[in-house]
Amino acid sequence: RVYKTESNSGAPALPKNIGLHFSKGEYIAFLDHDDEWLPNKLREQLEIIQYGKDNIGMVSCFLNLKNWHTNKIESVHNKFPKKNKLQNLYQRNFFVTSSGMVVKRSVFEDVGLFDSRFKVSDDWDMWLRIMRAGYDFEICPLYLVNYFIHQSNLSSTSNIDSQFEEFKLLQEKYNIDGKNIKDGWFLGYYYFKKGEYRKAFKYNIKNI
């Protein structure tokens, strides 16, 4: 079924929430308009989430990072923390895209819908809420999603200021302090994307 909003919300949170509202399945999967699922994605992930540990709330997978214009794989994403998972998630959204996720419907019933205050980081905020609620995640070690890289990506360099503002909103929302998150990492990333390499070096050194 297709549901259409009357106007463009300007961000992914509202459409996701509408989809969640009308959904009826036991599991929820997302596909952003500029990403691509590969064959057997859902089957492979459902095998893990259905038969894994009881506290598994979501399953991700490996990603191909493809150039939108050339359709060539530029790199891959297959690195996920095995320890200190929540600590690492405070520092960065290592899941990259919600298109790689399958989540139990009961998890959303527990933690609520996506926070529409976030225009770029609604998924990062959601994964934090899920893990803070005590759920764990698993990774399907297969390349099941093509994530296309282009300048219109919400996570692209052109949106770095919005990303930084929402990073600060995450800090405020969860009362994050130096024990939970290393400000130096994101500040170093921010200034590197802005081309201010001296400041980037300064904060990355602090982080190390």
Contact 153, 44 (CB under 8 A): no
Q: How confident is the model at residue 26, as a pLDDT?
A: 96
Split at pLDDT 50, 70, 90, the class of 106 is very high
Per-residue CA distances from 87 to 74, 101, 183 (Å): 28, 20, 13
Contact 13, 30 (CB under 8 A): no
For 132-162, how does the pLDDT look when each residue is reduced to its tens digit (9 = 90+)? 999 999 999 999 999 998 765 555 555 677 7
Alpha carbon distance 84, 27 (integer Å): 26
Question: 177 is written with which tokens?
Answer: 């302090």
Split at pLDDT 50, 70, 90, the class of 202 is confident
- In this structure, of 86-90, 106-110, 135-139, 203-207, the range with the lowest mean pLDDT score is 203-207
pTM above 0.85, yes or no: no
Split at pLDDT 50, 70, 90, the class of 131 is very high
168 vs 123, residue with greater confidence:
123
Inter-helix orientation angle 122-132/160-173, to 10°: 30
